[in-house]
Amino acid sequence: MFIEGITFEDIEPHKHWLSPQFIDSETADFRLSQHAWLIEANGKRIVVDPCVGHRRHRPLLPFYHMIDSPLLEQLEALGVSPAGVDYVFCTHLHPDHVGWNTQLRDGRHVPTFRNARYLIPRVEDEYWRRELTGELPDVERYNAGVDTECVQPIVEAGLADLIEEGIRIADCLTLIKAAGHTIGHMAGLLESAGQGAVLAGDAIHHPLQVLYPDRHMQAFNVEQAQITRRNQVDLCVEEGYWLAPAHFRPPHLRKVSKSDGKYRMEWA
């Protein structure tokens, strides 16, 4: 189900660097990372896509179900406490991008980053809050509980900013449209001192989608997802920016080049 259209013939020329980090050499299963980004800039701290969360009940997604997450401990090891985060940007509202928005305390889900403004794409919020009225389409049933646990407590606490394209944070991070994977998916364009990175979220899941941008995962709008993916990769090519998706395994950053109509990647 992961990336439609990829064949063993597509994989073969790249097997020497895909395996074992990005593809299991024995099973050919794709291998991904689950991580957030931490940005420190101009006196602000920004967490992007706070992962799956801790001990979340996600039985339809067994790889996320009741997992123990070390994210807060990892932030603390970097000298960042939850109270010291100024912004949380969720590219979209799938369970692996909003999990640590909240944590369970005394039987209630409360904001993890209590001093932060949570930046949530307005279109995403309008779509996924249908969970509250039972109107969420059956095809989205894997997202059950996510809005209730990870989004609405933020809204009720008055910490949510429902955002549109063009918002700029800490004078370095511009939020841009990246729809396709979900209806209101957004990405972050990080720019400073003539350099930059595209925080792609789930517009791109796996390095093979850079080489073959027309290949797609299950998407809300497949055609729009392909357009978004090409736009992001082309931006990295044209500007020399890093490509920083949400699920690439280490090294998590890529530079991308293009020649003879084909994309190539350079490692961080």
Residue range 146-192, pLDDT digits in tens: 999 999 999 999 999 999 999 999 999 999 999 999 999 999 999 99
- Does residue 141 contact residue 134 with C-beta atoms inside 8 Å? no
pLDDT (tens digit per residue) in 56-113: 999 999 999 999 999 999 999 999 999 999 999 999 999 999 999 999 999 999 999 9
For residue 113, the model assigns a pLDDT of 98
The pLDDT-based confidence of 4 (bands split at 50, 70, 90) is confident
**Across residues 122-136, what is the average pLDDT?**
93
**Across residues 17-30, what is the average pLDDT?**
87
Per-domain boundaries in the chain: 1-31+178-268, 32-164
- Same fold yes or no, 1-31+178-268 and 32-164: yes
Of the candidate ranges 88-92, 94-98, 202-206, 218-222, the one whose mean pLDDT is the lowest: 218-222
pLDDT (tens digit per residue) in 253-263: 999 999 999 99
For residue 2, the model assigns a pLDDT of 65
**What average pLDDT is seen over the chain?**
93
Please state, in angstroms and rounded to a whole number, the distance separating the CA atoms of residues 105 and 246: 28
Per CATH, which fold does 1-31+178-268 belong to? Metallo-beta-lactamase; Chain A (3.60.15)
Question: Above pLDDT 70, what percent of the chain?
Answer: 99
Question: Above pLDDT 90, what percent of the chain?
Answer: 81
Evaluate if pTM is beyond 0.85: yes
**Across residues 211-225, what is the average pLDDT?**
88
What are the residue ranges of helices labelled H in 26-178? 71-77, 95-98, 122-128, 146, 152-156
Buried b (16+ CB within 10 A) or exposed e, 201-211: bbbbbbbbbbb
For residue 217, the model assigns a pLDDT of 74
Strand partners, 174: 168, 189
Please state, in angstroms and rounded to a whole number, the distance separating the CA atoms of residues 62 and 59: 6
Please state, in angstroms and rounded to a whole number, the distance separating the CA atoms of residues 123 and 179: 10
Q: 32-164, superfamily in CATH?
A: Ribonuclease Z/Hydroxyacylglutathione hydrolase-like (3.60.15.10)
The pLDDT-based confidence of 268 (bands split at 50, 70, 90) is low
